[in-house]
Structure 1
Amino acid sequence: MGMIKGFAGMETTTGHETDAVLIAVGVLIIIVAAFGCFGAWKESPKLLYIFVGCLILIILLELSVGIAAAALRPQIEGTMKSQLRASFIKNKSVRDEDSTYREFWDKIQTSLECCGVSGPDNYAASEPRLNPSYSCCPPDDSDRAVEIKRSDCISLNKYYQDGCESKVFNTVHSAGLTVIVCGILFCFLEVIGIVLALWLAHSIRTEKGQEAA
Structure 2
Amino acid sequence: MNCGMECIKYLLFIFNFIFALSGLAILICGVIIHMSMDYVIKANIEVPISSPAIVLIIIGAVIFIIAFFGCCGAIRESHCMVITFAILLLTLLIIKVSVASYIFIQNGNKIEEKIFKDLEKSIKQYFNSNEAIRTKVDSIQFVFQCCGYNSYNDYLNDQKNTQGIIPGSCCNKQENQFCHTSEASKVEGCGKILYSFIIYYGSALCGLALGIAVIELIGIIFSFCLANSIRNVERRGYKV
Q: For this structure pair, what is the TM-score category when the shorter chain's length is used for normalisation?
A: 0.7 to 0.9
Structure 1 unmatched runs, 5+: 140-146
SS at match of 2:188: coil
SS at match of 1:132: strand
Candidates 91, 108, 112, aligned match of 2:144: 112
Q: Which amino acid aligns with 1:28?
A: V
- Determine whether 1:205 maps to 2:231: yes
TM-score for the superposition, normalised by structure 2: 0.68
What's the CA shift string for 1:45-74, capped at 9, x where partnerless?
A: 222111111111111111111111111113
Please give the alpha-carbon distance, in whole angstroms, between the structure 2 residues aligned to 1:16 and 1:117: 24
Q: Give yes or no for contact 1:134–1:150 (8 Å, CA) kept in 2.
A: yes
- Determine whether 1:82 maps to 2:125: no
**RMSD over equivalenced CA pairs, Å:** 3.2
Q: How does 1:2-21 map to 2 (within 5 A)?
A: 3=37, 6=41, 9-10=44-45
Q: Which amino acid aligns with 1:69?
A: I
Q: Give yes or no for contact 1:8–1:79 (8 Å, CA) kept in 2.
A: no
- Determine whether 1:126 maps to 2:158: yes
Please give the alpha-carbon distance, in whole angstroms, between the structure 2 residues aligned to 1:18 and 1:70: 14
Please give the alpha-carbon distance, in whole angstroms, between the structure 1 residues aligned to 2:52 and 2:190: 27
Q: How does 1:1-213 map to 2 (within 5 A)?
A: 3=37, 6=41, 9-10=44-45, 24-25=58-59, 28-73=62-107, 74-75=109-110, 77-94=112-129, 98-129=130-161, 130-137=164-171, 150=179, 154-155=181-182, 158-211=184-237
Q: Which amino acid aligns with 1:115?
A: C
Q: Give the Å deviation of 1:128.
A: 1.4
Match of 2:27 in 1: none
Q: How many residues align?
A: 194
C-alpha spacing 1:26/1:170, structure 2 compared with 1 (3 Å): closer
C-alpha spacing 1:185/1:49, structure 2 compared with 1 (3 Å): same
Structure 2 unmatched runs, 5+: 1-32
Q: Give the Å deviation of 1:203.
A: 2.2
Q: Give yes or no for contact 1:7–1:168 (8 Å, CA) kept in 2.
A: no
Greater Cα offset, 180-189 or 60-69: 180-189
Q: Give yes or no for contact 2:148–2:154 (8 Å, CA) kept in 1.
A: yes
Q: Give yes or no for contact 1:109–1:164 (8 Å, CA) kept in 2.
A: yes
